[in-house]
Structure formats: C-alpha cells, structure tokens
Amino acid sequence: MSDARTQNPGDPVGDDHAETYSFLGPAGTFTEAALAQVPQAQGKPWRAVNNVGEALDDVVSGRSVAAMIAIENSIEGGVSATQDALATMPGLRIIGEYLVPVGFVLVARPGVALADVKTVTAHPVAYAQCKAWLGEHLPAHDYVPASSNVTAATSLLETDASGRPAALADAAIAPPTIVAHHDVVVLAENIIDNPNAVTRFALVSRTTDIPKPTGADKTTLIVELPSDRSGTLVEMLEQFSTRGVNLSLIESRPIGDEFGRYRFVIDADGHVTDERVADALLGLFRFSPHINFLGSYPRADHQPVEYDHRYDDDVFIEARDWLRGLIGGEPQG
Amino acid sequence: MSDARTQNPGDPVGDDHAETYSFLGPAGTFTEAALAQVPQAQGKPWRAVNNVGEALDDVVSGRSVAAMIAIENSIEGGVSATQDALATMPGLRIIGEYLVPVGFVLVARPGVALADVKTVTAHPVAYAQCKAWLGEHLPAHDYVPASSNVTAATSLLETDASGRPAALADAAIAPPTIVAHHDVVVLAENIIDNPNAVTRFALVSRTTDIPKPTGADKTTLIVELPSDRSGTLVEMLEQFSTRGVNLSLIESRPIGDEFGRYRFVIDADGHVTDERVADALLGLFRFSPHINFLGSYPRADHQPVEYDHRYDDDVFIEARDWLRGLIGGEPQG
Amino acid sequence: MSDARTQNPGDPVGDDHAETYSFLGPAGTFTEAALAQVPQAQGKPWRAVNNVGEALDDVVSGRSVAAMIAIENSIEGGVSATQDALATMPGLRIIGEYLVPVGFVLVARPGVALADVKTVTAHPVAYAQCKAWLGEHLPAHDYVPASSNVTAATSLLETDASGRPAALADAAIAPPTIVAHHDVVVLAENIIDNPNAVTRFALVSRTTDIPKPTGADKTTLIVELPSDRSGTLVEMLEQFSTRGVNLSLIESRPIGDEFGRYRFVIDADGHVTDERVADALLGLFRFSPHINFLGSYPRADHQPVEYDHRYDDDVFIEARDWLRGLIGGEPQG
Amino acid sequence: MSDARTQNPGDPVGDDHAETYSFLGPAGTFTEAALAQVPQAQGKPWRAVNNVGEALDDVVSGRSVAAMIAIENSIEGGVSATQDALATMPGLRIIGEYLVPVGFVLVARPGVALADVKTVTAHPVAYAQCKAWLGEHLPAHDYVPASSNVTAATSLLETDASGRPAALADAAIAPPTIVAHHDVVVLAENIIDNPNAVTRFALVSRTTDIPKPTGADKTTLIVELPSDRSGTLVEMLEQFSTRGVNLSLIESRPIGDEFGRYRFVIDADGHVTDERVADALLGLFRFSPHINFLGSYPRADHQPVEYDHRYDDDVFIEARDWLRGLIGGEPQG
C-alpha cells in the first residue's frame, strides 16, 4: 500500500493500537474516504481490514479505538451483515455518521486506450451500477468479477514471471481515489448510472460517552419484539409515534435462533437526551424483551430534526411538574 | 322529612356547614343510601338538594364538605348533566365511589290493597324499569308521572282541606327504604324488571388530597382533543393502551361552545401514583389542550385492577434506571 | 291538551295508527317542536307519551310509525336511557336528526307580576339552566320541582274545590311555546343562562329503508367490544380512522349483564353507502361480537361531511379494480 | 464448468431461452442448490450469471423464464441490492421461495494436508462465518479474499505457465457441493460457526399468474409511504394488523431520489386470494402513493399460516352479506 498511515491485517501492531482506526481496505475504498472525514482520526494509525466482522472485532478486542463501516446502500459490504454484527457483539456504540458520494472511473494500465478494452473487471455491485455506460461505450465487453473495487484495479498491474500483464482484464471499474494510490490511468470518468449515489457509513467505538446533542442527531436501536402476533410491531412503533419521533430506518432481521423471530434495527430522529426520544426509549425498554442502544450521534447531513412543537422538551417538563403537583396535593391551574 | 340528620335547601345552615354532606333528596333516595355507606359522613349534617347542580354548587361554595351524586345508570339524575358539571366547575375531586342496588316496591296508603290500584305514580325512569311487572299485575292501570321516586310515594299521603287523599294515584313505585321514612304500606316487593340493576355514585369534594392507593382504584379524567381529525381519538386512547391501562368508561360530551367539539370523560383502571397511570397522564397532558384530573379513588367493587405485568411499577423504575445509566455513560448490562 | 292533533296515552287509537307519530308530551315540549320540523308528520296524528321507553315501545309495537326522542344535551330525558333503549330494542332505525334551540320564559297565572313571585316551579334541569337569571331577579325565591317543563306551567292553572289556585308556586319555567297551548302570561323571556343551548332529537322508525345520501349524513351504530383488554377500544376505533371516518359521538354504556362489559354508541360522519363508511362497517362487523346499525340519515345542521380525498369513493373503486386485475392475472399499471 | 446444463454469460443462447433459468454462478453455489429444488427447472437450460442484477435482467429481457436469487441472510449477494432491483424493475413476480442450509468445507488441491495450510482464500462473508473454526485449527493463517465461494476453490487449481500452482492460497472455504464440480479434496467438514445457518432464495419470473393458495403462503409487497410524518408507518402497518395479517419481514429502503424518502419491502403471511390479505391490499392501495405487488407464493417451510379465526374468509363473506342486506333494506338478524 502506498499510504503510510495504513496497516494491513498482518502488520505488527505497535503500542499505539488504542488509537488505531480500522476500515474496509485496501487504501482507496469509499470506506477510507469516509474515515478521512473524521477529524480525530487524522494523524493516527489506520488499519485496513477485509470485512465488517474484522473491523468490529478490532474494536471489541481493543485492537482499534474505532472502526468505519458501511451501513446503508453500500457496494462494499452487506448492510445485513453489519446490522447482525452490531446486534450480537456487545459493547459497541455508533459515534458518528458519514456520507461518501459514490462515483466510478474506468481505469487501465498506462498505454491502454478505451478502444483496446475487451474485458472489464469490477466488483459485481459496482459493475451493476455502471451497466448503462458500459452498454453504450463497450457493448461487446467480457466481464471478470473481482472481490473489491480496489483489487479490480490493482489486478491490472500484476505481471507474470516474464513481466507481462497477468490479468485477464484490460480495464477496471474503480473509485476515483484509485489514481492517488496506484499507477493506473483513467479512461473515462463519472461512469456510474446514478450520479447521486451516496453510501452511508458509521464510526463505531466501545466508548459509552454519548456525543453531545446538536439538534441534528440520530439514535440507533436494536429492538426485539415480545411476540410475532399481528399488531406487536404496530405497538412497538407507537412508542415512537405517540412521542412524535420519526424513524429514518427500520429493518427486520431474523434473530437466527429459529425462523420467524425478528429483531428490528431502527434509526430514530433525535438524541437520547431529547425528552421525546428519552421517553420513547423508556417505553421501548418496558415493551421489549431486549433492547440494544447503539448510540446517539450527529447526522451526517446536519439537517436539524423536525418535530411537532407539542413534543418540545418544555412540554415534557411542564407535564412532569403538573403531575408532581397533582400527586403532591396542589390544586390544578 | 323524618330524618333528623337531613337539612332541606331552605333550612338555615349552622356553623358546622364545613362538615355538611349534600345529596339528592328527599330522604329515602338511592343517593341517600349511597351516602349512608360513607363512614366519615356518619354523625354529620346531611343536606338534601334538588339536583346535581345544586349538590356540586354546595361543594364549590363551601356550603358542604362533599356531595354524593349519581354518575351512571341512574334513575335520579342524568349522567350527562353530572359530567358536564364536573367538567366545567373547577376545583372538584371525586374521593369515593359507591354502588347501590336499585330495587323498587309498590306502596300505597294504609288500607289500600293491590286489587284497588287503578292509577300508579312514579318517576318516568322508575316506571319504565317496572313495566314488565306492571303489565302482568296491573295491566289496565293509568300512569301519573312524578318528579322523583320519593315524591311519588309521599304524594299518596297528601290530603285536601277536607282531609281526604288529594292524590290522583292509588299506588307509587318507590325505593324499599321508603317505609323507614313515610307511613306507606308495601303492596309488592322486587317489582323491578332487572334484578341486578345497580346505580353508581361518586362522592365529590374540594380536597386536593388524593385517597391512598389500594390496588383496586379508579382514576377519572376529562380530556379535550386537540382537533376533530379522524385518528385524534385513537391517538388519545393510545396514551392508555401503550401503558396497559384499561378504561371502564369513556363518553364524548359536546364542549358546548360550538357543535362538533368534544371533551371525553374517562374512567381509567388504577391510581395516579401507579407508574403506568402516571405515565399515561403525562402523555395525555402533552397531547391534550386541556386535561382535568378529577381524582383517583378506591373502586366501589373492591376488584383489584388487572394489568399485564410488563406495566408493573418495577418495570417503569428499571427503565428509568437503564436510561439514566445510558445517559450517564454506563455500559449496558 | 288544546292541540287537536295530539293523542294522550290513554286515548283510543284509530285505524290510522300506522301513521301516528309519538313524542314526549305534553303539547308544548321541545320534543314536540322537533316533531313540528318533520314534513311527513304534518297532518298526521301525534301521540304524546311520558318517556322515551313509551315512545320507542309505540314504534316497536306498531302503534306509531315513528317517534321523536331527545338524544343529546337534553332536559327532557336521559341520553343514557335513550341509548340503552335503542341498544336493546331490536328493529329500530333513526331516519332523521333535528335540532331545537332551547329557551325558557318565566310564566304565571294572568294577574301575577314578577314582583309577586315567591315560589318558582320547574323541571330540575331547566331550573339549573336558569340559575343565573333567577339569582339576579328572584334572589329569595323558593323552588318546587316539577316532572316536566310543561307540567310546571300547567300546574299554575290548577284550582282546588273552591276555585282558588291549588299550586304552591307562583311562576313556572317553561318553553316559549307554552303560550300557544295554555292560558299563562310571560313575566320574562330568554331567561336561560346559555343563549346557544340546543337539544338534539332523533326520529326513530321501524323502516329498513335508508334515507338517501345527501353528502351531509351521519351513521349511528352500537358496537360491543370482544374483550375489555387494554387496546381493544383502540382497535375498534382504528376501523374508523384507517378509513378516514370521523366520529362526532362516542359513549360507553354498561351492557348490564355484568359490571365491566361495555357497548359503545357511535355517531360516524357519512352514509352507509359512502365507500369509506361501508368499509368501516365491514371491519366493525368482523371485529365485534355484536354490532347494531341504527341508521344513516341527514345531519340536522346540513354541514357537508369533510374527509381526506384519499378516502373518496373513486379511490375505493380503483383499489378494487387493481386487486381484481392482480388476481385475474393482469400486469400492474 | 463441468455441469452440462449450465450456460455461462458469454455462451450462445439457443431458441429454448424462453425455458432458461438464471442463477448466481458458477456451478456449485448455494443459489444453484436452490434452483435444484425447482421441479419445473429440471431438464431445462440453466444460466450462471455474476450477480442479482444480471439475473433479473435476464428475466425482464426474456432471456430467461425465471431467475433464482438470494433474498435473505445471504453470503452470495446483498439483500438490499435484490430488494432495490425488485422495487425498480417493473413486471417481476416472485413465484416460489426456497431454503438452502449453508455449510462449508475446507478444501485443497489433492496432496495438500491440513498441516500444510498457511493461507486460506474465501469470500469475505464465508470467511467471517468460519472464524471460530479457523481460529482454533489454523490460528496463524493468512487470508486472501475471493469474489465468490466457488471461485475461491477453483483458484486453487489454476497453474502458471510452468504447470505449478498459481494460487497464493493453500486452501479454500467452499460449499460442500464443490467436490461434485471440481477436483479438490476436503480437509475439514462443517467448519461454519452457526450449524443452523440457512439462506432464503426466491424464484422470480415475469408471469402474472399467481401460484395457487396452499394455506402456507407468503405475499411480498413494496410500499411507499405518503409522507415521512411520525405515525405514517404505524398507519401503514395498521392496514395489516386490523386484518390480522402477520408480517415476517419489513425493511425500509431509501427510494434514492432524495435522502429521507423510504419504501418498505414487506413479506406478509397469507395469499392474495385470502380475504384478509386481499382486504389489507385494498387498504394499502388507498393509503400508499405507490404499491408494488411482487407475488403470493408457497412458503419454503410449508408452515401453515396461523391467524385469528375472526379473520377467516367466512367472516369477510358474512360481513359483506350483512352490509349488502343493510343497504338493500333487509332487517338485521
């Protein structure tokens, strides 16, 4: 790897591992681009790993202080795998959310032109996201799948014993950052079909300190239902809606011990110290046989949370004062 | 009236009015029977009034320490009138609930036999409740309505200037207690069609002290909806159902300022110091533009409140401890 | 009675009883004023009865073609009694709704002036509704309760054997129509405290023909809950809210077989032939162990029903067409 | 590939492509094992493709009659990608569901023993699922990621120009079926950490014929919410719960046009011709700005759907008969 900050899984780990940040490598991935957005990670050792499980394992074992993982709409790892890992590995907290625009370039060895390209290599998901461009510009190409969108590019540079290119492919689909790390040339830019594609990442740590509320926060929870009776899910969601808390994500995930039992991964608008969110969490705790708080943290898009003013902190405080007065024997206002 | 405890509306009121209990008179009504169940009213002056409005007015003005009023299934006053009065008169609290079995006897002047009865007098509701018996035993009778089931009986005893009976009626439908107060004879007992009829009464006071929880309590509320949009009522009731609180009574009452605006009279199972009831009240306070707490008090039937154990006080306390731990930075258990 | 149209309960009933209309008498009541609003009742025999039970009994037995009864905010009969009667007497339908402004005058025998009035007679509810006026203009009066607001007035005209007034009272609270029926003089007009008071009446019949939809309709139902579990009431109301149907009235009424079991009286906005109302009724039928349809009929206030356009008839029809297409094997649009 | 049935993407496609079945290749994948469970696919051409997008594209374009794709808990392709493809490609239907137990063996070239293994190759997800076994038996191994769990195994057999093994790895994690297709030897069996792991697959076609109901069916839908207001999701789910329909899967997926807009992928218990499911679909159609019916089909586990008998077909039919009678003027039973 050309990036001095980056360790590979096999690298010896020094004393500073408590400050290490893990990410899905190799260098040049969108996950690395997400980690580059984290101020506190600058100047610290970064550790490239092969998958989400390894990244979270680094955090749990203390090998790293935090890990950057893709959590939605990702081409670099399954959302499901991430969610299941977060649900089952104890002690993890999300402390930040980051967005990385997803874009691709078509790259080749120096000297290769677009007209020379007969075979393209790419991670299957990246390949699927560029099919319109490929259909137009390389209608007759063959395809060789690769295990990541960086290894696709680096494979172009491999040579056999005689020094000739070993790769079956002439060009690779890769993230634009690839040129900073590897000696490839760009044949075409912006080849992704959806120009607005964005991947969402989370920075995961073991800390139990909760980032301060900013007014533009998100709270992630994993909640089990007490039964699979029709209506139990509605009952769970009412814990949010009766407090005016919007959800931006909900996903059922099989618990895995038997078919038909589900846990839910939920992103709720707001911070655990917002009264309406705190009250919803109290309701969920009472409702659910198992609830896992994965953190409150600033939203990547910095959009202030919108909610009905009847769920303002003041209203919750006024309600408690009123009830305390009633029980204490004060006349009603 | 023959009962020495009882004052009539016109009676002079002594210094002890702070200890007076008002009830719908005259002596012998079911409301008086309800008041007779109240230990703290024994030996205190009782004041017979003509209707619920007067009874509550006595309490508000301080003329009486408390008033007994019918609140459900009553033949002695409209539930609606009671509910509207409680909703609009500030400072009132229900401190007890009482049940009185409703039964009727057919009474007459001494010397009159059942075979002599051509005309029957009764309060219209009492009359309606005895129609099956009357149809069988007095199929050809005429009917004269009376303003209460006690005045029906006492009218039989009135005489004109010459001492002859002044009443049009030969017999009256009256509560069984009538014989303790008036010189009438019973022609037939248990003439009510529904042998299980019961009237529910409330003892209303100005105190803001709430009777201690007994495990068999009821909480009465009056709640306005923020709008008449479809679904707002469901939203209000979810404040109870999401905390496992059952309702034993719900009635919409027009607010009266304009058609189409409603308040709701609600009896909820449990005491305001039960965690699940307290939490529902907090939710209602935040939801409703106006909520009126009318009291928590022991149920007349002494039936312990049944609820799902996931709404136990312990669960609420445990939830708060968990949330406090989260926010304070403790790891989850 | 001075009104030739009116029969009294004891009157012989002719062959035309199939066209008779029953109402709470005597002549001059607000209920009679409501009946006067019914075009098809004009020129037909009217039958004055003593209470709601008698009125409905006339309809059930075929003695009358229809009966006018007070159903809300009434001073002439309990709402509860009406609701319980409608719930338990089979075969009844509401075919119209009528509003009567409630107003009172103070009347006396000819020759009596306001300054002479020492004792006032009135139905207790009417008395309560005029307390502010009485407190101001007759602060020292005595009160004699009467069984109806018409009998209060007529009692003023009764004389004893010697031809002298027999009544204890000097003046009576009565509806303004009293002067058309009885030889009393008005001492004061508009003495009711709330100048906007209105009573709501229903015309009840045995017909199973449903009045045509007008766009300003109401549907009355009586629905039992399958259990008293917390949440069952919410589940019932969702049958309305998930179809955008507003309720203008909801009342719990004890079923009476045992304490704690309730039926609900419901007025829903809209007509049974409106798709959204019909669909809600289907849902209720499936949900409830017992549902009683009491009729769809034009609202007295002629206010068109407002509802979200996503519950338009067209949307229901389009949904059925879509589903039929799916099941029939058509591709989706 | 050694399996004569199987075409590769570049293979010429004959006239029988209307009978071709696409699956995620190469031969030996779990997806192929799922396809092997489909009776109607036996004896037809199978086409191995590189990813879910290609598989569905084959179906949409008519190149294949159906495609087998992983839809849950998969190590061979993201659930999210599948769901997004199904949501956005029109004309697709799920016609069957299949379960494949997931298990892994460790394989090597003939002659290699477990003690010789220094480097392991595997798809990252498969690698993660075997970490416990690897940690115990090969604690010091290096790891080389592969693009699929079959290519991991086949890479072991590649040789360079001189005929020596070209692979960096000595062993590969692969599905047990690998030995039927490739000349590798098994070093260890059952190396997966969770012995109950199962992957769920769907057979997707363009047909609009719906498989017949079996009593053990599932219905898949994609539904957009009309707004992201708190409570809209609850409102959507009530369309199911008010008809007693359980959900076995719910996932929010970003619509992708802008952040914060979501569609929901839903698996509901039951068949579109079950009355309760049909009624829920009608409600959803009216509620949602866009609903996509992806099919009703037999559940892979053949478990009969359990639901409350108050949602039986009979109850729906009885309700419609009752309503039809009401509107038609029949008296209520």
Q: Which residues of A touch D241 (CB under 8 A)?
A: 230-231, 233-234
C160/B117: higher pLDDT = B117
Q: Which residues of A touch D142 (CB under 8 A)?
A: 10
Residue C135's identity, in one-letter code, is G
Architecture, CATH, for domain B6-102+197-205: 3-Layer(aba) Sandwich (3.40)
Residue A48 is encoded by which pair of tokens? 């490239």
Residue B261 contacts C, CB cutoff 8 Å? no
Is A146's CB within 8 Å of D147's CB?
yes
A202 beta partners: A69, A97
Preceding omega of B39 cis (within 30 degrees of 0): no
Sequence-distant (6+) residues with CB within 8 A of C268 are: C218, C219, C220, C221, C240, C245, C246, C247, C248, C277, C280
A185-203 per-position pLDDT tens digit: 999 999 998 777 788 899 9
Predicted local distance difference test score (pLDDT) of residue A119? 92
> Where is C275: in which H helix or E strand?
helix C275-287
- Would you say domain A217-318 falls under CATH 3.30.70.20? no
Q: What is the ipTM of this complex?
A: 0.81
A72 beta partners: A200
A202-251 per-position pLDDT tens digit: 999 999 899 999 999 999 999 998 876 767 888 899 899 889 999 888 88
Q: Which residues of B touch A237 (CB under 8 A)?
A: none
Sequence-distant (6+) residues with CB within 8 A of A261 are: A224, A228, A254, A255
Pairing relationship of beta strands C217-224 and C262-269 according to DSSP bridges: antiparallel
Q: How many residues does the structure list for chain C?
A: 333
Question: Is pLDDT at D333 greater than 60 in this prediction?
Answer: no
What is the distance between the alpha carbons of residues C254 and C260, in angstroms, rounded to a whole number? 7
CB contact at 8 A, D130 and D122: yes
Predicted local distance difference test score (pLDDT) of residue D13? 45
What is the distance between the alpha carbons of residues B94 and B34, in angstroms, rounded to a whole number? 14
Question: Is pLDDT at B213 greater than 90 in this prediction?
Answer: yes
What is the distance between the alpha carbons of residues D265 and D252, in angstroms, rounded to a whole number? 6
- Which of B250-254, D17-21, D194-198, D316-320 has the highest average model confidence (pLDDT)? D316-320
Residue with the two structure tokens 């009574």: B249
C14-65 per-position pLDDT tens digit: 445 569 999 987 788 889 999 999 999 999 999 998 777 788 889 999 999 9
Residue C118's identity, in one-letter code, is K
Preceding omega of B175 cis (within 30 degrees of 0): no
**A6-101+198-205 topology per CATH:** D-Maltodextrin-Binding Protein; domain 2 (3.40.190)
Residue C326 contacts D, CB cutoff 8 Å? yes
D195-247 per-position pLDDT tens digit: 777 888 999 999 989 999 999 999 999 999 887 676 788 889 989 988 999 98
C282-324 per-position pLDDT tens digit: 999 998 989 999 999 999 989 999 998 889 999 999 999 999 9
Is A327's CB within 8 Å of B238's CB?
no
pTM to 2 decimal places: 0.80
Residue B109's identity, in one-letter code, is R
Q: Other CB atoms closer than 10 Å to residue B206's CB: what's the count?
A: 17
Q: Domain coordinates of chain D in residue numbers? A: 6-102+197-205, 105-188, 217-318
What is the distance between the alpha carbons of residues A262 and A39, in angstroms, rounded to a whole number? 37
What part of A 100-159 touches D (C-beta under 8 Å)?
Answer: 123-125, 127-128, 131, 142-143, 145-148, 151
Residue B261 is encoded by which pair of tokens? 């605006």
Q: Hey, which chains touch A, using 3+ CB pairs under 8 Å? A: B, D
Is C329's CB within 8 Å of D208's CB?
yes
Disruptive mutation site among B60, B147, B228 for chain C (greatest number of C CBs within 10 Å): B147
Predicted local distance difference test score (pLDDT) of residue B256? 62
C233, C256, C260: residue with CB nearest B194:
C256
- Which of A261-270, A295-304, C81-90 has the highest average model confidence (pLDDT)? A295-304
Q: Assign residue A302 a region: left if phi > 0, alpha if psi is -120 to 50, beta otherwise?
A: left
CB contact at 8 A, C143 and C217: no
C244-291 per-position pLDDT tens digit: 999 888 887 777 655 566 788 899 999 999 999 999 999 999 989 899
Residue D52 contacts A, CB cutoff 8 Å? yes
Predicted local distance difference test score (pLDDT) of residue A205? 95
What is the distance between the alpha carbons of residues B44 and B22, in angstroms, rounded to a whole number? 11
CA atoms within 13 A on the CB side of A90: 5
Q: Which residues of D touch A160 (CB under 8 A)?
A: 160-161
Is C80's CB within 8 Å of B81's CB?
no
Domains A105-188 and A217-318 alike in fold:
no
What part of D 229-248 touches C (C-beta under 8 Å)?
Answer: 235, 238-239, 242
Preceding omega of D9 cis (within 30 degrees of 0): no
Mean pLDDT score, D31-49: 94
DSSP symbols for C90-136:
TT-EEEEEEEEE---EEEE-TT--GGG--EEEE-HHHHHHTHHHHHH
B136-189 per-position pLDDT tens digit: 999 889 877 676 778 889 889 988 777 777 777 899 999 998 998 899 999 999
Question: Is pLDDT at B132 greater than 70 in this prediction?
Answer: yes
Q: How many residues does the structure list for chain D?
A: 333
**A105-188 topology per CATH:** D-Maltodextrin-Binding Protein; domain 2 (3.40.190)
Work out the widest C-alpha separation in chain B, in whole angstroms. 94
Question: Is pLDDT at B10 greater than 70 in this prediction?
Answer: no
D330/A308: higher pLDDT = A308
Predicted local distance difference test score (pLDDT) of residue B248? 84
D84-139 per-position pLDDT tens digit: 778 878 889 999 999 998 889 999 999 999 999 999 988 767 787 888 899 899 98
For residue A256, name the pLDDT band (cuts at 50, 70, 90): low
Mean pLDDT, chain B, rounded, equals: 85
Question: Is pLDDT at D329 greater than 90 in this prediction?
Answer: no
Question: Is pLDDT at A76 greater than 60 in this prediction?
Answer: no
For residue C167, name the pLDDT band (cuts at 50, 70, 90): confident
Sequence-distant (6+) residues with CB within 8 A of D263 are: D87, D222, D223, D224, D225, D252, D253, D255, D290
Predicted local distance difference test score (pLDDT) of residue B333? 53
Predicted local distance difference test score (pLDDT) of residue C165? 78
Question: Is pLDDT at C11 greater than 50 in this prediction?
Answer: no
Q: Which of A173-177, A257-261, B160-164, C8-12 has the lowest mean pLDDT?
A: C8-12
Q: Which residues of B touch A239 (CB under 8 A)?
A: 242
Mean pLDDT, chain C, rounded, equals: 85
DSSP symbols for A206-239:
S--PPPPP-SSEEEEEEEE-S---TTHHHHHHHH
Is D234's CB within 8 Å of A241's CB?
yes
Is A278's CB within 8 Å of B208's CB?
no
For residue D257, name the pLDDT band (cuts at 50, 70, 90): low
D122 beta partners: D145
How many helices, marked H, and strands, marked E, lie in chain A?
10, 15
A117-151 per-position pLDDT tens digit: 999 988 766 787 888 899 899 998 987 767 677 88
A215/C194: higher pLDDT = A215
Predicted local distance difference test score (pLDDT) of residue C16? 53
Predicted local distance difference test score (pLDDT) of residue D12? 44
Predicted local distance difference test score (pLDDT) of residue A43? 95
Q: Which residues of C touch D278 (CB under 8 A)?
A: 323, 327
Question: Is pLDDT at A13 greater than 50 in this prediction?
Answer: no
Predicted local distance difference test score (pLDDT) of residue D4? 42
D139-181 per-position pLDDT tens digit: 889 877 676 778 889 889 988 778 777 777 899 999 998 998 8
Mean pLDDT, chain A, rounded, equals: 85
